[in-house]
Protein backbone atom coordinates (compact mmCIF):
# COMPACT_ATOMS: atom_id res chain seq x y z
CA UNK A 1 0.00 0.00 0.00
CA UNK A 2 1.14 3.48 -0.85
CA UNK A 3 1.08 4.81 2.71
CA UNK A 4 3.05 1.91 4.11
CA UNK A 5 5.75 2.27 1.49
CA UNK A 6 6.07 5.95 2.27
CA UNK A 7 6.32 5.18 5.93
CA UNK A 8 9.06 2.61 5.55
CA UNK A 9 10.92 5.04 3.36
CA UNK A 10 10.68 7.69 6.03
CA UNK A 11 11.98 5.43 8.72
CA UNK A 12 14.88 4.20 6.62
CA UNK A 13 15.85 7.76 5.88
CA UNK A 14 16.35 8.44 9.57
CA UNK A 15 19.74 7.89 11.15
CA UNK A 16 20.09 6.11 14.49
CA UNK A 17 20.75 9.44 16.20
CA UNK A 18 17.62 10.91 14.66
CA UNK A 19 15.54 7.93 15.78
CA UNK A 20 16.86 8.21 19.34
CA UNK A 21 16.16 11.94 19.45
CA UNK A 22 12.62 11.34 18.16
CA UNK A 23 11.77 8.39 20.35
CA UNK A 24 13.70 8.71 23.62
CA UNK A 25 13.01 12.27 24.72
CA UNK A 26 9.23 12.48 24.60
CA UNK A 27 9.30 12.79 28.35
CA UNK A 28 11.96 13.77 30.87
CA UNK A 29 13.69 16.15 28.53
CA UNK A 30 16.34 17.60 30.88
CA UNK A 31 15.40 20.67 32.90
CA UNK A 32 19.03 21.70 33.27
CA UNK A 33 21.05 24.67 32.12
CA UNK A 34 22.43 22.73 29.13
CA UNK A 35 19.77 20.11 28.24
CA UNK A 36 21.20 19.25 24.82
CA UNK A 37 24.59 18.54 26.41
CA UNK A 38 22.89 16.11 28.79
CA UNK A 39 21.12 14.38 25.87
CA UNK A 40 24.43 14.22 23.97
CA UNK A 41 26.13 12.58 26.97
CA UNK A 42 23.36 9.97 27.15
CA UNK A 43 23.65 9.18 23.45
CA UNK A 44 27.43 9.38 23.32
CA UNK A 45 27.63 12.30 20.93
CA UNK A 46 28.23 16.05 21.04
CA UNK A 47 25.96 18.91 22.08
CA UNK A 48 26.51 20.64 18.71
CA UNK A 49 25.40 17.55 16.78
CA UNK A 50 22.28 17.11 18.95
CA UNK A 51 21.25 20.74 18.39
CA UNK A 52 22.01 20.57 14.67
CA UNK A 53 20.12 17.28 14.25
CA UNK A 54 17.07 18.57 16.14
CA UNK A 55 17.09 21.68 13.92
CA UNK A 56 17.12 19.51 10.82
CA UNK A 57 14.36 17.23 12.15
CA UNK A 58 12.28 20.31 12.79
CA UNK A 59 12.98 21.71 9.31
CA UNK A 60 12.00 18.39 7.74
CA UNK A 61 8.78 18.41 9.76
CA UNK A 62 9.48 15.30 11.84
CA UNK A 63 9.65 17.22 15.11
CA UNK A 64 6.87 19.73 15.62
CA UNK A 65 8.67 21.43 18.50
CA UNK A 66 10.97 20.88 21.45
CA UNK A 67 9.03 22.15 24.39
CA UNK A 68 6.50 21.66 27.15
CA UNK A 69 3.31 19.65 26.71
CA UNK A 70 0.62 21.04 29.00
CA UNK A 71 -2.14 19.05 30.63
CA UNK A 72 -5.51 19.78 29.09
CA UNK A 73 -7.83 21.70 31.37
CA UNK A 74 -5.18 22.39 34.04
CA UNK A 75 -5.03 26.08 33.21
CA UNK A 76 -8.17 28.09 32.52
CA UNK A 77 -11.19 26.35 31.04
CA UNK A 78 -11.25 24.14 27.99
CA UNK A 79 -13.50 21.85 26.07
CA UNK A 80 -13.64 19.66 23.02
CA UNK A 81 -16.41 20.85 20.72
CA UNK A 82 -18.02 19.38 17.64
CA UNK A 83 -20.33 20.65 14.94
CA UNK A 84 -22.25 19.12 12.07
CA UNK A 85 -21.69 21.41 9.12
CA UNK A 86 -22.96 20.91 5.54
CA UNK A 87 -20.06 20.24 3.17
CA UNK A 88 -20.54 23.47 1.22
CA UNK A 89 -20.31 25.60 4.38
CA UNK A 90 -17.41 23.74 5.97
CA UNK A 91 -14.52 25.90 4.74
CA UNK A 92 -16.21 29.15 5.74
CA UNK A 93 -17.19 27.90 9.20
CA UNK A 94 -13.73 26.39 9.81
CA UNK A 95 -12.12 29.67 8.84
CA UNK A 96 -14.41 31.60 11.16
CA UNK A 97 -13.63 29.23 14.07
CA UNK A 98 -9.88 29.43 13.42
CA UNK A 99 -10.02 33.20 13.86
CA UNK A 100 -10.35 32.67 17.62
CA UNK A 101 -6.92 32.49 19.25
CA UNK A 102 -8.59 30.33 21.93
CA UNK A 103 -9.00 27.53 19.35
CA UNK A 104 -5.86 25.35 19.54
CA UNK A 105 -6.86 22.44 17.35
CA UNK A 106 -9.42 22.11 14.62
CA UNK A 107 -9.89 18.90 12.64
CA UNK A 108 -12.21 17.80 9.92
CA UNK A 109 -13.41 14.25 10.65
CA UNK A 110 -15.41 11.74 8.64
CA UNK A 111 -18.68 11.70 10.54
CA UNK A 112 -22.08 13.38 10.82
CA UNK A 113 -20.19 15.61 13.29
CA UNK A 114 -17.50 16.65 10.83
CA UNK A 115 -15.81 19.57 12.59
CA UNK A 116 -13.95 18.98 15.87
CA UNK A 117 -12.05 21.64 17.74
CA UNK A 118 -10.50 22.33 21.13
CA UNK A 119 -11.13 25.63 22.86
CA UNK A 120 -9.04 26.89 25.77
CA UNK A 121 -9.96 30.18 27.44
CA UNK A 122 -8.79 31.97 30.56
CA UNK A 123 -12.05 31.19 32.36
CA UNK A 124 -15.44 29.50 31.88
CA UNK A 125 -17.28 32.73 31.26
CA UNK A 126 -15.06 33.54 28.26
CA UNK A 127 -15.30 29.96 27.03
CA UNK A 128 -19.10 29.96 27.09
CA UNK A 129 -19.23 33.37 25.42
CA UNK A 130 -17.08 32.10 22.54
CA UNK A 131 -19.23 28.96 22.15
CA UNK A 132 -22.35 31.15 22.00
CA UNK A 133 -20.64 33.44 19.52
CA UNK A 134 -19.67 30.53 17.26
CA UNK A 135 -23.23 29.18 17.32
CA UNK A 136 -24.64 32.59 16.56
CA UNK A 137 -22.22 33.39 13.72
CA UNK A 138 -22.40 29.94 12.08
CA UNK A 139 -26.10 29.31 12.61
CA UNK A 140 -25.27 25.77 13.79
CA UNK A 141 -25.29 24.18 17.23
CA UNK A 142 -22.09 23.28 19.05
CA UNK A 143 -21.81 20.02 20.96
CA UNK A 144 -19.31 20.56 23.76
CA UNK A 145 -17.64 17.68 25.52
CA UNK A 146 -15.31 18.86 28.29
CA UNK A 147 -12.88 16.36 29.74
CA UNK A 148 -14.16 14.78 32.97
CA UNK A 149 -11.28 12.45 33.65
CA UNK A 150 -7.90 11.77 32.06
CA UNK A 151 -6.98 8.08 32.12
CA UNK A 152 -3.73 8.22 30.24
CA UNK A 153 -0.32 8.65 31.81
CA UNK A 154 1.27 10.62 29.03
CA UNK A 155 4.78 9.45 28.32
CA UNK A 156 4.69 10.24 24.64
CA UNK A 157 4.14 7.61 22.03
CA UNK A 158 6.44 4.72 21.09
CA UNK A 159 7.30 5.34 17.47
CA UNK A 160 8.09 1.69 16.86
CA UNK A 161 11.65 2.22 15.71
CA UNK A 162 13.76 -0.90 15.79
CA UNK A 163 16.50 0.74 17.81
CA UNK A 164 18.11 -2.43 19.16
CA UNK A 165 19.61 -3.18 15.79
CA UNK A 166 20.94 0.27 15.16
CA UNK A 167 24.42 1.15 16.18
CA UNK A 168 26.65 4.13 15.65
CA UNK A 169 25.71 7.55 14.39
CA UNK B 1 -31.02 18.70 15.28
CA UNK B 2 -29.57 19.43 18.65
CA UNK B 3 -31.88 20.57 21.40
CA UNK B 4 -30.72 23.85 22.89
CA UNK B 5 -32.50 23.01 26.15
CA UNK B 6 -30.07 20.21 26.93
CA UNK B 7 -27.14 22.30 25.86
CA UNK B 8 -26.32 23.75 29.26
CA UNK B 9 -22.75 24.94 28.90
CA UNK B 10 -21.48 24.12 32.34
CA UNK B 11 -17.86 23.11 32.41
CA UNK B 12 -17.58 20.29 34.87
CA UNK B 13 -14.34 20.25 36.80
CA UNK B 14 -12.38 17.04 36.47
CA UNK B 15 -12.99 15.02 39.63
CA UNK B 16 -9.46 13.97 40.25
CA UNK B 17 -7.55 17.07 39.33
CA UNK B 18 -7.24 20.47 40.92
CA UNK B 19 -6.91 23.77 39.17
CA UNK B 20 -3.46 25.22 39.59
CA UNK B 21 -2.97 28.92 40.06
CA UNK B 22 -0.29 30.36 37.81
CA UNK B 23 1.08 33.86 38.14
CA UNK B 24 1.88 36.17 35.23
CA UNK B 25 5.46 34.99 34.91
CA UNK B 26 4.37 31.32 34.85
CA UNK B 27 1.89 32.16 32.09
CA UNK B 28 4.57 33.94 30.10
CA UNK B 29 6.81 30.90 30.45
CA UNK B 30 3.91 28.75 29.19
CA UNK B 31 3.46 31.05 26.20
CA UNK B 32 7.14 31.15 25.31
CA UNK B 33 7.80 27.42 25.71
CA UNK B 34 4.63 26.33 23.90
CA UNK B 35 6.07 27.31 20.56
CA UNK B 36 9.26 25.50 21.53
CA UNK B 37 12.49 25.86 23.44
CA UNK B 38 15.23 27.60 21.46
CA UNK B 39 17.71 25.17 19.93
CA UNK B 40 20.77 26.75 21.52
CA UNK B 41 23.19 25.51 24.15
CA UNK B 42 21.44 27.26 27.05
CA UNK B 43 17.75 27.51 26.06
CA UNK B 44 16.45 28.40 29.53
CA UNK B 45 18.88 31.36 29.64
CA UNK B 46 17.18 32.69 26.50
CA UNK B 47 13.80 32.50 28.20
CA UNK B 48 15.19 34.15 31.36
CA UNK B 49 16.62 37.00 29.29
CA UNK B 50 13.34 37.56 27.49
CA UNK B 51 11.47 37.71 30.80
CA UNK B 52 14.13 39.63 32.70
CA UNK B 53 14.44 37.01 35.43
CA UNK B 54 17.15 34.62 36.62
CA UNK B 55 17.64 31.35 34.74
CA UNK B 56 17.38 29.46 38.04
CA UNK B 57 13.94 31.01 38.48
CA UNK B 58 12.83 29.79 35.01
CA UNK B 59 14.01 26.25 35.75
CA UNK B 60 12.46 26.27 39.25
CA UNK B 61 9.11 27.49 37.91
CA UNK B 62 9.07 24.89 35.15
CA UNK B 63 10.00 22.20 37.66
CA UNK B 64 7.17 23.36 39.92
CA UNK B 65 4.67 23.30 37.01
CA UNK B 66 5.89 19.81 36.20
CA UNK B 67 5.40 18.69 39.83
CA UNK B 68 1.89 20.14 39.98
CA UNK B 69 1.03 18.43 36.69
CA UNK B 70 0.43 21.60 34.65
CA UNK B 71 3.33 20.51 32.46
CA UNK B 72 2.75 16.87 31.55
CA UNK B 73 6.15 16.52 30.02
CA UNK B 74 8.91 18.44 28.31
CA UNK B 75 9.70 16.81 25.04
CA UNK B 76 11.00 16.71 21.54
CA UNK B 77 7.45 16.35 20.17
CA UNK B 78 7.39 14.15 17.06
CA UNK B 79 4.99 14.90 14.23
CA UNK B 80 3.28 11.51 13.95
CA UNK B 81 1.75 12.30 10.60
CA UNK B 82 5.11 13.16 8.98
CA UNK B 83 6.56 9.96 10.47
CA UNK B 84 4.04 7.80 8.65
CA UNK B 85 1.14 7.58 11.10
CA UNK B 86 -1.38 8.70 8.51
CA UNK B 87 -4.53 7.17 10.03
CA UNK B 88 -5.39 9.11 13.16
CA UNK B 89 -8.62 7.89 14.63
CA UNK B 90 -10.65 9.19 17.52
CA UNK B 91 -12.33 6.07 18.88
CA UNK B 92 -15.43 6.68 20.99
CA UNK B 93 -17.19 4.20 23.26
CA UNK B 94 -20.44 3.98 25.16
CA UNK B 95 -19.70 2.16 28.40
CA UNK B 96 -21.69 1.99 31.66
CA UNK B 97 -20.88 4.93 33.95
CA UNK B 98 -20.17 2.66 36.89
CA UNK B 99 -17.55 0.81 34.85
CA UNK B 100 -15.86 3.74 33.15
CA UNK B 101 -13.10 4.32 35.67
CA UNK B 102 -11.81 0.75 35.52
CA UNK B 103 -12.20 0.52 31.74
CA UNK B 104 -10.65 3.94 31.15
CA UNK B 105 -7.56 2.98 33.15
CA UNK B 106 -7.20 -0.22 31.11
CA UNK B 107 -7.64 1.45 27.73
CA UNK B 108 -5.36 4.36 28.74
CA UNK B 109 -2.55 1.89 29.39
CA UNK B 110 -2.56 0.45 25.86
CA UNK B 111 0.66 1.48 24.14
CA UNK B 112 -1.09 2.51 20.92
CA UNK B 113 -3.48 4.88 22.71
CA UNK B 114 -2.10 8.42 22.98
CA UNK B 115 -4.98 10.07 24.86
CA UNK B 116 -7.84 8.56 26.84
CA UNK B 117 -10.57 10.69 28.39
CA UNK B 118 -13.98 10.45 29.95
CA UNK B 119 -16.31 13.07 28.47
CA UNK B 120 -20.03 13.66 29.06
CA UNK B 121 -22.58 12.12 26.71
CA UNK B 122 -24.58 14.60 24.66
CA UNK B 123 -27.92 12.84 24.37
CA UNK B 124 -29.73 11.89 22.31
CA UNK B 125 -27.25 12.43 19.50
CA UNK B 126 -24.01 11.46 21.15
CA UNK B 127 -24.09 8.39 23.44
CA UNK B 128 -20.31 7.99 23.82
CA UNK B 129 -18.55 8.71 27.12
CA UNK B 130 -15.05 7.24 26.62
CA UNK B 131 -12.58 8.68 24.07
CA UNK B 132 -9.32 7.03 23.02
CA UNK B 133 -7.03 8.39 20.30
CA UNK B 134 -5.22 5.82 18.18
CA UNK B 135 -2.46 6.41 15.66
CA UNK B 136 -1.91 3.91 12.88
CA UNK B 137 -0.16 3.79 9.54
CA UNK B 138 -3.37 3.08 7.64
CA UNK B 139 -7.05 2.47 8.28
CA UNK B 140 -6.74 -1.30 8.21
CA UNK B 141 -4.24 -1.13 11.05
CA UNK B 142 -6.49 1.33 12.91
CA UNK B 143 -9.41 -1.11 12.61
CA UNK B 144 -7.30 -3.81 14.23
CA UNK B 145 -6.54 -1.46 17.12
CA UNK B 146 -10.27 -0.76 17.54
CA UNK B 147 -10.85 -4.51 17.66
CA UNK B 148 -8.25 -4.85 20.42
CA UNK B 149 -9.95 -2.14 22.48
CA UNK B 150 -13.34 -3.78 21.90
CA UNK B 151 -11.99 -7.09 23.17
CA UNK B 152 -10.63 -5.38 26.28
CA UNK B 153 -13.94 -3.65 27.01
CA UNK B 154 -15.85 -6.87 26.31
CA UNK B 155 -19.55 -6.94 27.13
CA UNK B 156 -19.42 -3.39 28.55
CA UNK B 157 -19.09 -2.14 24.96
CA UNK B 158 -22.62 -0.86 24.25
CA UNK B 159 -21.56 0.78 21.01
CA UNK B 160 -18.50 2.40 19.48
CA UNK B 161 -17.32 4.35 16.47
CA UNK B 162 -14.08 5.63 14.98
CA UNK B 163 -13.75 9.11 13.52
CA UNK B 164 -10.80 9.54 11.17
CA UNK B 165 -9.38 12.98 10.66
CA UNK B 166 -9.42 14.01 7.02
CA UNK B 167 -7.92 17.46 7.37
CA UNK B 168 -6.00 19.42 10.00
CA UNK B 169 -7.61 22.84 9.87
CA UNK B 170 -5.61 24.32 12.74
CA UNK B 171 -3.02 23.10 15.20
CA UNK B 172 -1.21 25.47 17.52
CA UNK B 173 0.12 25.37 21.03
CA UNK B 174 -1.80 26.81 23.93
CA UNK B 175 -2.12 30.59 23.76
CA UNK B 176 -3.30 33.05 26.33
CA UNK B 177 -4.92 36.26 25.31
CA UNK B 178 -2.94 38.79 27.27
B130-136/B87-93 β-pairing = antiparallel
Count of CB contacts below 8 A, A vs B?
295
Tell me the CATH class for B87-164: alpha beta
- Residue in chain B closest to A158 (alpha carbons) equals B111
ipTM: 0.75
In words, the CATH class of domain A77-145 is alpha beta
Domain locations in chain A as residue ranges: 2-68, 77-145
pLDDT at A116: 97
Q: What is the mean pLDDT of residues A52-70?
A: 89
Q: In this predicted model, which residue has the larger pLDDT, B135 or A165?
A: B135
Dihedral angle of Cα A27, A31, A33, A34, to the nearest 10 degrees: -10
Judging contacts by C-beta atoms under 8 Å, the chain B residues touching residue A61 are 79, 82
DSSP state of B126: B
Compute the nearest-CA separation of A124 from chain B (Å).
Answer: 7
Distance from CA of A137 to the nearest CA of B (A): 16
Determine the pLDDT at residue A69.
81
pLDDT band at residue A8, thresholds of 50, 70 and 90? Answer: very low
Q: What is the pLDDT of residue A1?
A: 34
Residue B100: pLDDT above 70?
yes
Q: Do A108 and B126 touch (CB under 8 A)?
A: no
pLDDT mean over B6-18? 42
What span, in angstroms and rounded, lies between the C-alpha atoms of B22 and B30?
Answer: 10
Tens-place pLDDT, residues B102-118:
999 999 999 889 889 99
Average pLDDT of the residues in A36-64: 94
Q: What's the rounded Cα separation, in Å, for the pair A21 and A54?
A: 7
Cβ contact (<8 Å) for B35 and A111? no
Amino acid sequence: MQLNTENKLNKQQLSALEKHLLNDFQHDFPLLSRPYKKIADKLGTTEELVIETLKQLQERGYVSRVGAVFRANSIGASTLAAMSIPEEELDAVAEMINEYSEVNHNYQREHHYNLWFVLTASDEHTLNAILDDIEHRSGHCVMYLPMLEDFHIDLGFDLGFDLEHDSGY
Amino acid sequence: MMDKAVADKVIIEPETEEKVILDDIDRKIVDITQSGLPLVSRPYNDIALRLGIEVSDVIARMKSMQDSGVIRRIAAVPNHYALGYKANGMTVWDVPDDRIHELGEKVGQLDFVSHCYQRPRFLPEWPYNLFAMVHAHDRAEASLLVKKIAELIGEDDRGHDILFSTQILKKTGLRFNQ
